[in-house]
Structure 1
C-alpha cells in the first residue's frame, strides 16, 4: 500500500495495481482515517487550479503537506503492523513547476 494525495480520491492506494482503495475497508482506527481524510482534503492548496501553477509560498505549503503525509504513513504502518508494507508518495507539483521557470 501507499499513502498518496490526489484530487477526489481516498489517500490509500495499492502499490502494485495502483488502484485507489476505499479507506473504510482499511483496518485502521477511525481517528487515523479521520486524520487522513483531513490531510487529503488539503491536497492542492499550493496549486492555482485556474492557472495551472503554484500559489505564492506553494513550495512551502507542499512541503508541509508532504511532512504531514509521511507522519500519517508511519501511523498507518504502525496500526497495520506487519500485515502490509506502507510507503509514502509525496507531491512534487510545486517543486517541478518552480524548476520550470
Structure 2
C-alpha cells in the first residue's frame, strides 16, 4: 500500500458558480507492486474524478498540470485523507513551487 500525494496546478474550475484558477493537493491510498505504478494509478484516479472533471474549464492552449508530489509506502490507510482535495488560489500563469 502506498500513500500518494498528487499536485494539480493551473485548474480553471467552476466550483462555486464563478470560475477560479486553482491548484490543489489530493491524497490517494493505492495498493500496488511498486511506487511508479502507485503514482500512475493515483494520477488516473485524479483525472477521473467526476466532480473535478465536470468543473474543468481550461481551454486547450492553457492546459492543467498534474504530478506526483510524493509516494510513500505505508502499512494502513487513513480514511480521512483518502481522496480529500486541498485547494489554493493561483495567479494566472504562476507556477507555485512553494507548496511542497
| TM-score (normalizing by structure 1) | 0.30
Q: Which has the higher strand share?
A: 2
Greater relative CO, 1 or 2 (CA 8 Å, sep 6+): 2
Q: Which has the higher helix share?
A: 1
| TM-score (normalizing by structure 2) | 0.31
